[in-house]
């Protein structure tokens, strides 16, 4: 694997992402599930519609159905019956005739147009039409939502709540989806305490795995939480090996740089194939990606902001690929920065910002303030990254910058 550390300089962010994605083969195992289990699952085949939706021409209004040609000459039609939703009119509606019709009811044979009841005066069996209608008005056509045989969703689509509704409208109850991924989470650090434990001198509460578990819920994966592992080579090796036996991907945080207690890289070199990268991005310079015997490995930096940003921008896209999932590219916009942005050339910055409109409707972005890699609230209060290119230096207030909206992983 590529080892960027031996190369002079840092690896550009785009190259790191591309190299990592190229090394990932998506899973192939498929499961059969029912539609009610489908939310958040990834389709393993294209879905074409077995029927027209709607299946028949029907009325968009409560009113009267008739043949538009028969109304041109006369303003009253003879009422011959009614068509209700689910109880169609069985006869043929002839010239000079109309049928009482309700929203969603099948269009009677012989009818091509509907007038809403507010524009009609019914008296006994005669209906007076107060307005003229064009042929086809207020009719919903068979197949106007989805045509039979038409591809509705492609393989790789993650099913949303609306997708589930669309599939139900097609009468589809059996789905083939890729199986769920299993992702192991490991936090490393002697100073880390789990919630509920007292903090000793020099300790902090472990937060990365909680936030990462939340991000992973958006990918609908099964999480295997290994908790906190101390900074000890053997303990880390044992945890990584156990995680590798159980998971498709292992995500650790901490111990990935080159400090005295940083064992991630060392252990990975022993038991797997590892690419350790210094990426030209801020936050998140040290990042390990590699393969263990059975799983992918992502070694995130320990600093909470660096861990979240590298998870969002590198690990999540990798897991999406592993899941076979197609995802829309992130939305990037141009906005005017309201504040000066401190930056030195050399790395691509993903500063945290709040995007909003000013009174003239122009997009403005405000920095969330201190951008230190330990300040997790700098993400909590943001809705976007302010993406500053590698060679960019300080940005003055009033200048235009690229802004990338947060994806759903942070929600
Ligand atoms: P490391 O990458 O292990 O050198 O850690 C860098 C910084 O991130 C240190 O201040 C750690 O205390 C902190 N840190 C590491 N892992 C976590 C974690 N899981 N939750 C919160 N902070 C962490
Ligand atoms: Mg550490």
pLDDT one-digit tens code per residue, 346-386 = 999 999 999 999 999 999 999 999 888 989 999 999 999 99
pLDDT on residue 401:
98
Residue 166 domain flag:
yes
275 or 241: which leads in pLDDT: 241
The arithmetic mean of pLDDT across residues 327-344, rounded, is: 93
pLDDT on residue 275:
82
In sign, the C-alpha dihedral spanning 145, 407, 256, 278 is positive
3 or 50: which leads in pLDDT: 50
**Interatomic CA distance for residues 204 and 29, integer angstroms:** 40
pLDDT on residue 62:
98
Residue among 254, 267, 287, 308 to mutate when testing ligand 1 (max atoms within 8 A of CB): 254
The arithmetic mean of pLDDT across residues 87-112, rounded, is: 97
302 CA to centre of ligand 2 in angstroms:
6
Binned at pLDDT 50, 70 and 90, residue 277 comes out as confident
pLDDT on residue 361:
96
Q: Which of 243-247, 325-329, 351-355, 381-385 has the lowest mean pLDDT?
A: 325-329
Bridge partner residues of 363 (DSSP): 357
Q: Are residues 243 and 156 in the same domain?
A: no
Residue among 172, 154, 153 at smallest CA distance from 37: 172
- Cα separation values, 198 from 177, 188, 208, Å: 44, 18, 18
Neighbours of 191 (CB within 10 A): 18
Binned at pLDDT 50, 70 and 90, residue 340 comes out as very high
**Cα Rg for the chain, rounded, in angstroms?**
30
Q: What is the dihedral of CA 298, 301, 307, 311, to 10 degrees?
A: -20
**Interatomic CA distance for residues 100 and 120, integer angstroms:** 11
Q: Are residues 259 and 363 in the same domain?
A: no
Neighbours of 187 (CB within 10 A): 26
Mean residue pLDDT across the chain: 94
Last residue of a domain, one of 159, 178, 197: 178
Percent of the chain with pLDDT over 70: 98
**Residue found under tokens 């790789």:** 156
Ligand closest in space to the Cα of 261: 2
Q: What is the dihedral of CA 315, 268, 208, 225, to 10 degrees?
A: 100
Ligand closest in space to the Cα of 375: 1
Assessment of whether the complete model's pTM goes beyond 0.85: yes
Q: Please give the residue range of the domain that contains residue 359.
A: 332-410
Number of domains in the chain: 4
Cβ within 8 Å of residue 361, ≥6 positions away? none
Bridge partner residues of 34 (DSSP): 174
Ligand 1 near 191 CB (within 6 A):
yes
378 phi, psi to nearest 5 deg: -70, -20
Ligand 1 near 299 CB (within 6 A):
no
Ligand closest in space to the Cα of 192: 1
Bridge partner residues of 97 (DSSP): 78
Residue 1 domain flag:
no
**Interatomic CA distance for residues 42 and 64, integer angstroms:** 44
Residue among 187, 188, 189, 305 to mutate when testing ligand 1 (max atoms within 8 A of CB): 189
pLDDT on residue 5:
40
Residue among 187, 206, 211, 253 to mutate when testing ligand 1 (max atoms within 8 A of CB): 253
Residue 4 has pLDDT above 90, yes or no: no
Q: Are residues 18 and 103 in the same domain?
A: no
Helix (H, G, I), strand (E, B) or coil at 279: strand
Q: Are residues 300 and 210 in the same domain?
A: yes
Strand pairing class (97-101; 76-83): parallel
Q: Are residues 294 and 311 in the same domain?
A: yes
**Interatomic CA distance for residues 313 and 13, integer angstroms:** 9
The arithmetic mean of pLDDT across residues 120-145, rounded, is: 95
Neighbours of 111 (CB within 10 A): 25
The arithmetic mean of pLDDT across residues 144-157, rounded, is: 96
Percent of the chain with pLDDT over 90: 88
Q: Are residues 233 and 339 in the same domain?
A: no
Residue 383 domain flag:
yes
The arithmetic mean of pLDDT across residues 231-257, rounded, is: 96
**Under 8 Å between Cβ of 40 and 181:** no
pLDDT on residue 71:
86
- Count the helix, strand and coil residues of the chain and give each as a percent rounded to the nearest 5: 20, 35, 45
pLDDT on residue 110:
98
297 CA to centre of ligand 2 in angstroms:
18
Cβ within 8 Å of residue 134, ≥6 positions away? 68, 113
Q: Are residues 262 and 364 in the same domain?
A: no
Q: Are residues 216 and 317 in the same domain?
A: yes
Write the CATH number for 39: 3.90.105.10
The arithmetic mean of pLDDT across residues 83-105, rounded, is: 97
Residue 3 domain flag:
no
- Contacts of residues 5-8 at CB distance under 8 Å and 24 or more positions apart, as own/partner, are 5/276, 5/277, 5/278
pLDDT on residue 115:
97
What count of residues does the chain have?
Answer: 411
Write the CATH number for 123: 2.170.190.11
**Under 8 Å between Cβ of 325 and 396:** no
Bridge partner residues of 116 (DSSP): 63
pLDDT on residue 7:
42
């Amino acid at each position: 694997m590529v080892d960027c550390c031996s190369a002079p300089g840092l690896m550009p962010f785009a190259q790191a992402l591309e190299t990592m994605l190229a090394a990932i083969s998506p899973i192939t195992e498929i499961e059969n599930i029912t539609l009610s289990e489908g939310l958040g699952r990834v389709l393993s085949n294209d879905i074409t519609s077995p029927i027209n939706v709607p299946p028949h021409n029907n009325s968009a209004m409560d009113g009267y159905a008739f043949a538009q040609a028969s109304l041109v000459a006369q303003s009253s039609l003879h009422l011959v019956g009614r068509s209700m939703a689910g109880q169609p009119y069985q006869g043929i509606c002839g010239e000079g005739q109309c049928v009482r019709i309700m929203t969603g009811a099948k269009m009677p044979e012989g009818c091509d147009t509907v007038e809403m009841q507010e524009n009609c005066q019914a008296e006994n069996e005669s209906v007076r039409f107060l307005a003229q209608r064009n042929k086809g008005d207020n009719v919903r056509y068979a197949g106007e939502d989805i045509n039979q045989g038409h591809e509705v969703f492609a393989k790789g689509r993650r099913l949303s709540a609306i997708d589930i509704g669309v599939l139900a409208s097609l009468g589809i109850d059996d789905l083939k989806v890729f199986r769920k991924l299993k992702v192991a989470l490991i936090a490393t650090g002697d100073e880390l305490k789990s919630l509920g434990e007292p903090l000793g001198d020099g300790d902090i509460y472990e937060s990365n795995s909680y936030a990462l578990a939340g991000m992973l819920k958006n990918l609908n994966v099964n999480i295997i939480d290994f908790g906190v592992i101390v900074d000890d080579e053997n303990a880390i090796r044992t945890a990584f090996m156990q995680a590798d036996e159980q998971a498709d991907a292992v995500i650790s945080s901490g111990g990935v740089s080159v400090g005295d207690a940083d064992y991630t890289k060392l252990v990975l070199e022993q038991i797997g194939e590892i690419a350790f990268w210094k990426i030209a991005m801020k936050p998140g310079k040290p990042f390990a990606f590699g393969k263990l015997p059975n799983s992918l490995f992502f070694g995130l930096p320990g600093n909470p902001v660096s861990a979240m940003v590298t998870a969002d921008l590198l690990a999540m896209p990798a897991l999406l690929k592993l899941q076979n999932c197609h995802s829309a590219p992130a939305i990037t916009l141009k906005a005017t920065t309201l504040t000066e942005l401190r930056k030195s050339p050399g790395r691509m910055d993903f500063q945290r910002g709040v995007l909003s409109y000013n009174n003239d409707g122009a997009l403005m972005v405000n920095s969330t303030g201190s951008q230190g890699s330990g300040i997790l609230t700098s993400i909590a209060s943001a809705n976007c990254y302010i993406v500053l290119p590698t060679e960019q230096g300080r940005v003055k207030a009033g200048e235009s910058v690229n802004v990338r909206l947060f994806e759903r992983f942070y929600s």
